[in-house]
Amino acid sequence: MAVKIKRGHALGTLSLTPLIDVVFLLLIFFLVATRFAQEDRELDVVLPAASEAQPMTFQPREVFVNIDHQGNYFVDGKHLTGDEVEAVLRRAATNNPVNQSVVIRADKRVPLDHAVFVMNLCNQVGIFDYRLTTDGNIGR
């Protein structure tokens, strides 16, 4: 004796339009988020050379502090004063007290005092993982 199985009609009426909308929204979100992550590396800063420099790998917890040739500070593409840089670093240390790191990208034409100022701010707010980046091409 054959058994008849009644199949529901729920799958037949399932609309894929909301699923497609969600996929497009996710795609747009990731495109925008990727663009913001690249902004810190796009500021035109001439880095000093060092023979032992390694390529920099991006970690999501890093805060980039860019210093241009005039000694101006930039964080997340915004021009900041020294006090504003301290506030940003203090907020970052509060949000991530254990693993917060700072990458200082100073133009080679700027006096070292500006980079040392940012290093001192890092020490004041409790961030001890900070680096001063170099170009890696010696003899330019």
pLDDT of residue 32: 78
> Measured between alpha carbons, how far is 127 from 99 in angstroms, rounded to an integer?
8
Q: What are phi and psi of 21, to 5 degrees?
A: -60, -45
Q: What tokens were used for 82?
A: 């020294």
pLDDT in tens, 106-116: 998 999 999 99
Identity of the residue numbered 137: N
pLDDT in tens, 96-107: 888 889 999 999
> Measured between alpha carbons, how far is 88 from 54 in angstroms, rounded to an integer?
27
pLDDT of residue 31: 81
Checking if the pLDDT of 66 tops 50, the result is yes
Q: What are phi and psi of 113, to 5 degrees?
A: -55, -35
- Domains plus CATH for the chain? 16-140 (3.30.420.270)
pLDDT of residue 118: 94
Q: What is the largest CA-CA distance in the chain?
A: 92
pLDDT of residue 12: 62
Checking if the pLDDT of 40 tops 80, the result is no
CA angle 20, 25, 23 (to 5 degrees): 35
pLDDT of residue 114: 93
On average, the pLDDT of the chain sits at 81
pLDDT of residue 64: 92
The band of 17, judged by pLDDT with boundaries at 50, 70 and 90, is confident
Residues linked to residue 103 through DSSP beta bridges, in sequence order: 64, 131
Checking if the pLDDT of 139 tops 60, the result is no
